[in-house]
Structure 1
């Protein structure tokens, strides 16, 4: 059996003014010149594109069982401090880099075509949610595992218990004024884009441990309640006794990948039906 292909590549980003390293994973049986759907894999804080190497067995398992259709999985290395998947006013634009510029770069190479999805863990879960909520016509699905989102909508309203250590840096980076914070908050983005979310109906999956040691379950519940209020369909999986990182994480990651796989299959089926109707 051929091994799945994992490569390390680089390109110069206009959004950040830097050379960006990213990794790409493709199933072995897919011809190298065959354009595929794109799954963005967003790493957590203090991590890098090497996160995709760690997740590789989960993606390979999903391919082997048929739960994940052929796709290109890409993960860009982004900084934590000064990054946080945020477009900084007058500075580097890390959300744009990952959510728009990298996909365009891969499409220009001829390797990517069709639907896009995003999956992220921790800080990457925050980034993945923002990308889909802001661009629901460009992304068909998102799976956010233990996303770093706070149970408040202003920087000074986030309780200290919900922003320990580096999470406080993220909370501050989102903006000290109301407008900037709202623009970087998943809640503000969802509210301001609700009509597009209703029209596009992307698939949204939230997973968070009920015993998350960083208090992130409160933020996940807050988003769950808001999406319910906005009538935005989604799945919220609250894991009893689950922590931020524990022995349940591999199974939770596999469930998230299955969710993305199901959304990609449905998108392909819907596209085929539309094509058939046009041809008839």
Structure 2
């Protein structure tokens, strides 16, 4: 029997027409995780002003790599957060109401990709089988009206959870989510190998130093990105670090067996195995900027082409932006999900 729990604060965060709470979740499945990351975590939740009067849809908002759910709710003197923008639009009567839940699935490597891995922990299980039931236990959620969305790694996570947990979510949206791993990770392998070669460090030595002094300058981001993805996509309890790289560090040539394990997570491949789960969604929203620096615009076009072949209904949007500085895209995605989940198609 699960002993996971959620504690609500006695006060709300300031600056909202509705209510933003920073709850505390004690997780069973993250307890004793391989990296020693906390199993007691803060969970930001946004509640519309009338949340107690009627059941509302629930939208799970997933942060990108190196980010946590907190980033979407934190107020800033110079600009409005994602939740503040949604709150203001809701107060103006411009959007439909929904409860927003923003999980903290950060790891010491920078992120979990919202997957279950023996090298990082059971983060997919944590979100789907712990957080969602706890939120629905404590708040007035419209039965079955769950959606999931996110940007970058959060967009990948949205697709992964929608595909691997059929029936849990009625709608899913990916904003610049990882797709076509060859395009978005191929150049990262080269940069990671270059950075390690220049520093003369092994992956183990890099991670030991990074734990003391995190530095994403130069090739640092590529190195931690590749190591984190390997921990998520190619765990191996028998290896030194608990995972294997999909290439060797001397020649940067692919280890085909390990690379195949990565590709099984790639939405471009995974959609073939999880077609029915995708078809069952009431809304599948996919978008990317035409100036995306990680080449995700091309990966998404390839995914869309494949979804058309598979007969999966979807919405495909392209915009002029890049990969960074596009939180305004949530101003489109969140209202769209809330409208669908609330029954206003």
Q: Identify whether the pair has TM-score above 0.5, normalized to the shorter chain.
A: yes
Which among 187, 205, 224 is matched to residue 304 of structure 2? 224
Task: Say if 1:90 and 1:13 are closer, same or farther in 2 by CA, change over 3 A.
Answer: same
Q: Which ranges in structure 1 are unaligned for 5 or more consecutive residues?
A: 270-280
| Stretch deviating more after TM superposition (78-87 or 252-261) | 78-87
Distance 1:163 1:216 in 2: 18
State the shift of 1:161 in Å: 5.6
Match of 1:145 in 2: 175
Task: For residue 317 of structure 2, give the secondary structure of its aligned residue in structure 1.
Answer: strand
- Do structure 1's residue 127 and structure 2's residue 133 form an aligned pair? no
Q: Deviations over 1:51-79 (max 9, x none)?
A: 22121123214423545432211001121
- Do structure 1's residue 168 and structure 2's residue 198 form an aligned pair? no
Match of 2:62 in 1: 42
Match of 2:134 in 1: 105
Distance 1:235 1:265 in 2: 18
Match of 1:235 in 2: 315
Distance 1:243 1:60 in 2: 25
Task: For residue 143 of structure 1, give the secondary structure of its aligned residue in structure 2.
Answer: strand
State the shift of 1:189 in Å: 3.3
Task: Say if 1:4 and 1:237 are closer, same or farther in 2 by CA, change over 3 A.
Answer: same
Match of 1:73 in 2: 100
- Contact kept? 2:162, 2:278, Cα under 8 Å: no
State the shift of 1:220 in Å: 1.7
Match of 2:196 in 1: none
- Contact kept? 2:63, 2:154, Cα under 8 Å: yes
Over the residues paired in the alignment, what is the CA RMSD in angstroms? 2.8
Which among 50, 53, 72 is matched to residue 29 of structure 1? 50
Distance 2:69 2:119 in 1: 26
Task: Say if 1:135 and 1:66 are closer, same or farther in 2 by CA, change over 3 A.
Answer: farther
Task: For residue 78 of structure 1, give the secondary structure of its aligned residue in structure 2.
Answer: coil
Distance 2:318 2:307 in 1: 15
Q: Deviations over 1:215-274 (max 9, x none)?
A: 22222222212211211111111223x21124xx254221112321231133x78xxxxx
Q: Which has the larger radius of gyration?
A: 2
State the shift of 1:110 in Å: 4.4
Match of 1:277 in 2: none
Distance 2:190 2:134 in 1: 35
How many residue pairs are counted as aligned between the two chains?
Answer: 260
Q: Deviations over 1:75-117 (max 9, x none)?
A: 0112152622121037511122123321011122243342100
Give TM-score, length-normalised by structure 2.
0.67
- Contact kept? 1:16, 1:91, Cα under 8 Å: no
Match of 1:245 in 2: 324
Which among 265, 287, 291 is matched to residue 211 of structure 1? 291
Q: Deviations over 1:182-240 (max 9, x none)?
A: 55332343222213433x24311111111111222222222212211211111111223
Task: For residue 342 of structure 2, give the secondary structure of its aligned residue in structure 1.
Answer: helix
Task: Say if 1:78 and 1:188 are closer, same or farther in 2 by CA, change over 3 A.
Answer: same
Task: For residue 184 of structure 1, give the secondary structure of its aligned residue in structure 2.
Answer: coil
Which among 32, 37, 40 is matched to residue 19 of structure 1? 40
Task: Say if 1:8 and 1:239 are closer, same or farther in 2 by CA, change over 3 A.
Answer: same
Bigger helix share: 1
Task: For residue 124 of structure 1, give the secondary structure of its aligned residue in structure 2.
Answer: helix
Give TM-score, length-normalised by structure 1.
0.81
